[in-house]
Amino acid sequence: SLDYCVVKIPRWDLAKFNRVSTKIGSSMKSVGEVMAIGRNFEEAFQKALRMVDENVNGFDPYIKKVNENELREPTDKRMFVLAAALKENYTVEKLYELTKIDRWFLEKLKNIIDYYKTLESIDSGSITFEILKSAKQIGFSDKQIAAAIKSTELAVRKLREEFKITPFVKQIDTVAAEWPATTNYLYLTYNGSTHDLNFPGDFVMVLGSGVYRIGSSVEFDWCAVGCLRELKNQGKKTIMVNYNPETVSTDYDMSDRLYFEEISFEVVMDIYNLEKPDGVILC
């Protein structure tokens, strides 16, 4: 069986258009998509929400207000209405009646909000190793934890490093261990105990342009691809960090190591501290 979970979420830029209906229909309205990989659904789902919009901390109950009509009709922001409803103690059964989203998913989403409530009840000075590790294992970012405990991202990061809570690098096995497989698809997870590969150094890290949106599309990905090719011509080993499955830069043969990960301060620094590359290039 596969030991990882993948979540894909489309990106909608509906705010750019007047009079457009935000309800789901038969015409395609998304302008891009993201792909997140984790060891459990909660971890991958929260990663994906942050990838779609860098201003979102994860499954955040404060972005939207509860509105039962918005729960009945799928829209681009329904996930956050769902988060608000769970925060206001709507039961899984009630939400199933409204949304018809499978109860398995609703239970997983409830796990995230329940933990959010736990974090909010804790004073920033009394956060323990167990609390922080469990938060990281269900996909909370440092910034998200900081918002819940009224602290700062850097303070949470410092505490995490003191507790030695750091992510492990896992390799995607595309054939579920049926045959030996060495792929360069990598992801970070807190639900592990060992790294799947070594870190010899001597790499150059290239950061991709993330999700396609209005104003940033394939031409920006081409910058990253051009950069990777030139580095290869110069005999340098490359690391690509990107999370857009539609791009050429995330093809398996474009780089020596491909991290399907968020492009955020926290994650880029975590990869940097592990790989210790010779340099980092923004594309």
pLDDT digits (tens, 9 = 90+) for 27-60: 888 999 999 999 999 999 999 999 999 999 999 9
Identify the pLDDT of residue 114. 98
In the chain, beta strands by DSSP E: 5-11, 32-38, 168-171, 185-189, 203-207, 237-242, 257-260, 279-282
Identify the pLDDT of residue 161. 97
Q: What is the DSSP letter of 89?
A: T
Distance CA(283)–CA(221), nearest Å, equals: 8
Task: Give me the residues of the chain with pLDDT under 50, please.
Answer: none
179-282 is a CATH 1.20.272.10 domain:
no
Q: What is the 3-state secondary structure (H, E, C) of 105-126?
A: HHHHHHHHHHHHHHHHCCCHHH
Q: Do the bridges between strand 5-11 and strand 32-38 make them parallel or antiparallel, or are there none, so unpaired?
A: antiparallel
Residues in the chain: 283
Identify the pLDDT of residue 224. 95
Q: What is the CA radius of gyration of the chain?
A: 19
Q: What is the pTM of this model?
A: 0.94
What architecture is domain 5-162? Orthogonal Bundle (1.10)
Q: What is the DSSP letter of 170?
A: E
Identify the pLDDT of residue 173. 82
Strand 257-260: give its sheet, edge to edge.
168-171, 185-189, 257-260, 237-242, 203-207, 279-282
* Tokens at 124, concatenated: 């920033």
Beta bridge partners of residue 241, listed in sequence order? 207, 259
Identify the pLDDT of residue 1. 66
Q: pLDDT for 176-200, tens place per residue? A: 777 777 788 999 999 999 999 999 9
Identify the pLDDT of residue 233. 98
* Nearest alpha-carbon partner for 242 in 256, 261, 227: 261
CATH 3.40.50.20 domain locations along the chain: 179-282
